[in-house]
Structure 1
């Protein structure tokens, strides 16, 4: 059976770099990669809270990069688990916020796409879940030998149910190839619903009009949005800057925004502190500072639903 290729999708970012990529890559390796090789990692490792949160709340722990532990009263989910110290010559800049050996058995592991910084095989071999792992269509072969009891491969807008835990695979503007040739692999984010709470994990994405559709289809309490790596050495339109992430958050009509995909691995040419500074400045400019929550790695935060402009608890 032939594999579907994602090249014709309107939200496919493509693989070709833009003019000037050589100069941008020289700057990247000189100022982002080599400059941090000998620097000590920042941050600290904490122990997870094992007891479930109260009914009607969710406990969110940012592990770093795009990795989160999401705990509900009856369920728990691990998204894009990545405890890597290095990706090739790119060094992790901050310690994972949680000891991987202390991560509790969760109900489900979700992987947004096949890129090495999101589908990290060594981390996936260590974590475990009752119901197995969810991956986008075309990526099941990458995780079949990692020890999961079940592999659930999802196409865009597919939903899967485990008790009252519901997961829906949503689109993004990105690409899913793990290597140059395997462009058939899908990519996107997830809507995660449990206990009357809805969390959106964006995965990797540039800004695109699809956020409006996701917001129309789902009543989102908390949106986990990427804000870094927007100055891609390739020059391709593959990640959002902080202002675009705020715009997407507004179009999702979500209650709270939590930023991710910044300060962990230097994957773009923007300065280390810039994503967070620009995010806070834009939130203050728009009067959204009370709805943008910047987490520290390993610090668990308990939140209630609909903490937004449509009515708070």
Structure 2
């Protein structure tokens, strides 16, 4: 409210708010939050967004954690946006999943399509910028689900 936003909806994990035709639910994730040196416990989470019979899961910034199975049990997810970069973080904190863990999370979510995110824009970790999507596709191939992975190309439209 102090930032000038007049409509604010605060959610606990698993709560849902309706905004017109959208249903938005907050899910757990595994990360940390801070804006200042002593401010280490800000809330964080992912979002399930449902509209017109389609459901998208935006994982947010997260490491792999066992909660993906419960998210998949609670929601029928069409598209899972999962982070695959910054897994070799300078901080050493386990707050980002690597591409192989993203495939594991995708399988536990039982989603139809995996779209990777959180990689390739600029260096957030020590891994090469080109490595995350290559490792993701290779991992998906080992599970026979390569056709369920959509690595998007900047500037190329996609109809989902």
CA contact (8 A) 1:172 1:205 kept: yes
The Cα RMSD (Å) is: 1.4
Gaps of 5+ in 1: 1-140, 304-313
Query: How many residues in Structure 1 have an aligned counterpart in Structure 2?
Result: 160
Q: Which runs of 4+ in 1 moved over 6 A?
A: none
Is the 1:155–1:186 contact (alpha carbons within 8 Å) kept by the matching residues of 2? no
Question: Which residue of the partner structure matches residue 119 of structure 2?
Answer: 262
Which residue pairs with 1:285 in the alignment?
A: 142
The match for 1:271 is: 128
Asked whether the 8 Å contact 2:122–2:129 carries over to 1, the reply is no
- 1:174 pairs, out of 31, 35, 38, with 31
Q: 1:74-89 counterparts in 2 under 5 A?
A: none
**Which whole-Å deviations, capped at 9, do the CAs of 1:61-87 have from their partners, x for residues lacking one?**
xxxxxxxxxxxxxxxxxxxxxxxxxxx
Bigger-Rg structure (1/2): 1
SS class of match (1:151): coil
Deviation at 1:186, TM superposition (A): 0.6
TM-superposed deviation, 1:276: 1.1
Distance verdict in 2 for CA 1:188–1:281, change over 3 Å? same
Distance of 1:162 and 1:151 partners within structure 2 = 11
Higher relative contact order (CA 8 A, sep 6+): 1
Q: Tell me how far 1:297 sits from its aligned partner.
A: 2.6
CA drift of 1:265 comes to 2.2
Give TM-score scaled by structure 2 length.
0.94
Measure, in 1, the Cα distance between the counterparts of 2:44 and 2:27. Answer: 9
Shift of 1:283: 1.3
SS at match of 1:191: strand
Separation in 1 of the partners of 2:10 and 2:155? 29
**Alignment partner for residue 84 of structure 2, among 227, 235, 238?**
227
Question: For 1:50-129, what aligned pairs fall within 5 Å after superposition?
Answer: none
2:53 to 172, 196, 213: 196
